[in-house]
């Protein structure tokens, strides 16, 4: 911990620029931003956009770790830039790049269509055969039933886990950590009956078996969702299901 007087007055950020109408490849541009003890990388980016270079593009919204839109690579690691304090990266320069493995649209903005597409495929909603009429009241759950899936429901779709996953980089078809964790969130919900429908996607060619348990998704997740855990747990379920359907004639459904 440096003493207060020794704090650097500014910090250097090396930021990825990509302007498709001007250049065919991303380049790095360095900016200076004032250093403040309570500033995060996103504050510095906003300072740059406001005071230095209005053409710099990046996504953000809540600046409090809730919306999941400010994910970028900070010094090579996927981070929510609204939660990455400048003080943790001193003396700098701090490298800020768009999330790895996603196509870059412009500067720090990546295209997330692929993720949204996959998310939809695993049906991340409560599947019911038939909705109960409103007059019958709400669907009740005990605290224990809630506890079983709660951790997986904390996901904010920030895609940091995809940027941490080398498998996703190598096999872009892989359904990926967050989508599987969210599928598991609904599979484990006592009100849901969609597990069978999700099984085809999850245990298919691009599903859980692509995962070799690198474990990085869990390490970078800002919400402690533990997608790696969700996938391994699902592997057990998937394997049990497979054994049942192959070995027991009456196990087929």
Judged by the rule CB under 6 A, the positions of this chain that interact with ligand FES are 60-63, 65-70, 80, 82
CA distance 174 to 207: 6
Which C-beta is closer to ligand FES: that of 60 or that of 149?
A: 60
Nearer to ligand FES, 80 or 164 (CB): 80
Given ligand SF4, other proteins, ligand FES, none, residue 60, with its beta carbon under 5 to 8 Å by kind, binds: ligand FES
Question: Closer to ligand SF4 at the Cβ: 91 or 103?
Answer: 103
Residue pair 7/34 in contact by the 8 Å Cβ criterion = no
2 binds other proteins per the rule CB under 8 A:
no
Rounded CA separation 104/163 (Å):
13
**What b/e string do you get for 195-210 counting C-beta neighbours within 10 Å, with b at 16 or more?**
beebbebbbeebbbeb
**SS3 labels along 111-167:** CCHHHHHHHHHCCCCCCCCCCCCHHHCCCCCCHHHHHHHHHHHHCCCCCHHHHHCHH
Which 82-101 positions form the footprint of ligand SF4 (CB under 6 A)? none
Beta-bridge partner residues of 16: 28
Q: Is 111 in the site for other proteins (CB under 8 A)?
A: yes
Question: DSSP secondary-structure letter at 40?
Answer: B
Would you give the binding string for other proteins spanning residues 195-224, x where CB under 8 A is met? -----------------xxxxx-xx-----
Choose the one of ligand SF4, ligand FES, other proteins, none that binds residue 207, judging by a C-beta under 5 to 8 angstroms depending on kind.
none
CB of 235 to ligand SF4, least distance (A): 17
Phi, psi of 16 (to 5 degrees): -70, 130
CA 181 – CA 220 distance, rounded (Å): 14
**Which stretch in 90-98, 120-128, 133-141, 158-166 sits in contact with ligand SF4 by CB under 6 A?**
158-166
Cβ distance 41 to 96 under 8 Å?
yes
* Identified binder of ligand SF4 from the candidate list 56, 82, 122, 155, rule CB under 6 A: 155
Asked if 100 touches other proteins (CB under 8 A), the answer is yes
x/- track of binding to ligand SF4 for residues 207-226 (CB under 6 A): --------------xxx-x-
Q: State how far the Cα of 179 lies from the Cα of 241, in Å rounded to an integer.
A: 20
Question: Is residue 194 classed as helix, strand or coil in its secondary structure?
Answer: coil
Q: To 5 degrees, how large is the angle CA 215–CA 186–CA 126?
A: 155
Which residues contact other proteins (rule: CB under 8 A)? 18, 20, 24-26, 76, 100-101, 103-106, 111, 113-114, 117, 144, 147, 166, 169-170, 172-173, 212-216, 218-219, 226, 228-229, 232-233, 235-236
């Amino acid at each position: 911990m440096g003493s207060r007087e020794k704090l650097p007055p500014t910090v250097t950020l090396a930021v990825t620029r990509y302007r498709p109408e001007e250049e065919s490849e991303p380049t790095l541009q360095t900016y200076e931003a004032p250093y403040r003890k309570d500033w995060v990388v996103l504050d510095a980016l906003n300072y740059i956009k406001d005071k230095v270079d209005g053409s710099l593009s990046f996504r953000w919204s809540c600046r409090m770790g809730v919306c999941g839109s400010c994910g970028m690579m900070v010094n090579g690691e996927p981070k929510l830039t609204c939660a990455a304090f400048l003080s943790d990266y001193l003396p700098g320069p701090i490298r800020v790049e768009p999330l790895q493995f996603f196509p870059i649209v412009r500067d720090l903005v990546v295209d997330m269509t692929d993720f949204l597409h996959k998310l939809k495929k695993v049906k991340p909603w409560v599947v019911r055969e038939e909705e109960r009429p409103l007059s019958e009241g709400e669907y009740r759950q005990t605290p224990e039933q809630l506890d079983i899936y709660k951790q997986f429901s904390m996901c904010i779709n920030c895609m940091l886990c995809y940027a941490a996953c080398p498998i996703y980089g190598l096999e872009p078809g892989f359904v990926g950590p967050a989508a599987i964790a969210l599928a598991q969130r609904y599979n484990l919900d006592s009100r849901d009956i969609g597990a069978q429908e999700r099984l085809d996607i999850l245990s298919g060619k691009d599903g859980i078996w692509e995962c070799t348990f690198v474990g990085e998704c869990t390490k970078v997740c800002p919400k402690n969702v533990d997608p790696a855990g969700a996938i391994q747990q699902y592997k057990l379920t998937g394997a049990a299901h497979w054994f049942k359907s192959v070995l027991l004639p009456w196990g087929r459904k």
